[in-house]
Structure 1
Amino acid sequence: MAGVSGCIKYSMFIFNFLFWVCGVLILGLAIWVRVSKDGQEIIGSGDSDITSYVSVNILIAVGAIIMVLGFLGCCGAVKESRCMLLLFFIGLLLILLLQVAAGILGAAFKSESERILNETLHENVKLLSMTDDGKAFQQALDEFQKEFKCCGLIKGPTDWGNNFENHSKSCECPRMPDSSCTLYQGMYVYSQPCISFIKEVAAKHIIVIIAIAFGLAVIEILGLVFSMVLYCQIGNK
């Protein structure tokens, strides 16, 4: 009868041990943020405490799942337990299927989400030219312009209408204007509207997310292959 490959066995153990350590770190950090005084100050400093708590709770769940899978993979490899390896295989397969489903849903609703974003921004741009309403949104965009060197939301400085003078400081280019600036009402302002910057950042982040998801999928597929090979070898032992 064929024996169990030591290379696959210990590769499986090392991979899952690192997997388990990552789960411990994620779970420990998330619990610390959730219960400690300093952690409460961190998550309580944002605009939405509820969103922060939900994010921390999700991290706790993710860390716990990674820990359990890592434990099953390590023990299954060392003890040559087919039951543990099978549970590890099923758990990892479910995670991979969830990732694939999330990717399909994201691709399917991409155009719809872009349409909703554009409609929302076109509605919000009306607030820039108002005097009484929309003060909070105007202040937020004013800070955004100053930080990321853009002006206006969709069309540029004309979005501000009669309120441009009140918010021109955050739009103003340095004393030595370059090609990114344009002349508007006697002063040089940034020509790029903030929507262009937002879309550029979103596109870059999507590429990073896709790359990370693809890398995780490759690692998960390798884990599935190794666990099933080891499972079959133990059965043939």
Structure 2
Amino acid sequence: MGQCGITSSKTVLVFLNLIFWAAAGILCYVGAYVFITYDDYDHFFEDVYTLIPAVIIIAVGTLLFIIGLIGCCATIRESRCGLATFVVILMLVFVTEVVVVVLGYIYRAKVEDEVDRSIQKVYNEYNGTNTDAPSRAIDYVQRQLHCCGIHDYSDWKNTRWFKESRNNSVPLSCCKPNVSNCTGSLTHPGDLYPEPDHKRTVSSRHFVPCAHMVPLICPASRAWMRAAPGPTPASHLHPSTSSITACVLELVPLSLHGCEALVVKKLKEIMMYVIWAALTFAAIQVKMLLQTQILKVPYLFNC
């Protein structure tokens, strides 16, 4: 009966080690994906500490592979020292995964500040050549994220490249892919990625579902909107509605298509991959350890 229990425990441990190998591969893939993707956006943040969670997650993946190897050999050979080492390292990996989750949340919150601090500098360094790293980075981002300029295409007017070129145009990476013969000219804004949001064009239909909330959000603006149906510039609204409009617009991000907002969104999504990967495998480890009662393997600490 005792021999049967030992055999059963060995089978469970071997299966557990195979899962750790699979987890190691997945974690290393996630870490590598983060590295490769961040490399495309590295000009938009200055501090390399944002990659620390990715480095740790790759290290954890490598460690899980080693754990699986140690656990497999120790289980087959019934080595009490090997299995004790297996358990200790497993606990360290769990702690490391918790650290990854914490760091991921901390650095995710800093992404927006990092991008905001450096993106203007990168755009000012643009010179339109493929040999220049900042230029390649901007063209890549604008093509991949379908954006133009920091907030919209009009931001290019403030760049050194625009002023020196004197052709009233933006880079070709701002052109929509379905538009032929696009030259980036500002005289044809329809050829470019989304038009500026700072025109503050609003529609009454956007406010109808939440009109009853306006007095709660803006106590000073209790008048009902009397704007005509259809999109209407905020400056043309009835005076009694202008305060409501101004208040609501302050609460809604003005640029939903600017490169800055989209880069921040992309980088935060990537960081969430790391957080969820670490959190998921930490939870799996705890659950499997509790279910298999690995610490109660008959021959683990037997003398």
Same-fold call, TM cutoff 0.5: yes
If the TM-score is normalised by the length of the shorter chain, which range does it land in?
A: 0.5 to 0.7
Tell me which residue corresponds to 1:30: none
Whether contact under 8 Å (2:63, 2:93) holds in the other structure is no
**Counterparts of residues 99-114 of structure 1 (less than 5 Å):** 99-114=97-112
Tell me which residue corresponds to 2:225: none
What is the Cα deviation at residue 88 of structure 1? 0.3
Tell me which residue corresponds to 1:228: 295
Letter in 2 for 1:185: T
TM-score, normalization by structure 1: 0.63
> Are 1:142 and 2:139 counterparts?
yes
Distance 1:102 1:59 in 2: 7
What is the Cα deviation at residue 155 of structure 1? 1.8
Distance 2:56 2:109 in 1: 27
What is the Cα deviation at residue 63 of structure 1? 7.0
Structure with larger Rg: 2
Does the residue aligned with 1:190 lie in a helix, a strand or coil? coil
Tell me which residue corresponds to 2:189: 187
Tell me which residue corresponds to 2:251: none
What is the Cα deviation at residue 111 of structure 1? 3.1
Does the residue aligned with 1:150 lie in a helix, a strand or coil? coil
Change (3 A) 1:229 1:206: same
Whether contact under 8 Å (1:17, 1:71) holds in the other structure is no
Distance 1:236 1:6 in 2: 15
**Alignment partner of 1:77 out of 75, 78, 102:** 75
Change (3 A) 1:77 1:201: same
> Are 1:156 and 2:158 counterparts?
no
Q: RMSD across aligned C-alpha pairs, in angstroms? A: 4.3
Letter in 2 for 1:220: Q
> Structure 2: which 5+ runs fail to align?
29-38, 43-54, 195-256
Change (3 A) 1:9 1:212: same
> Are 1:87 and 2:85 counterparts?
yes
Bigger helix share: 1
Distance 1:65 1:81 in 2: 20
Change (3 A) 1:62 1:104: closer
What is the Cα deviation at residue 87 of structure 1? 0.5
Distance 1:236 1:166 in 2: 78
Change (3 A) 1:69 1:112: same
TM-score, normalization by structure 2: 0.51
Tell me which residue corresponds to 1:13: 14
Q: How many pairs does the alignment contain? A: 200
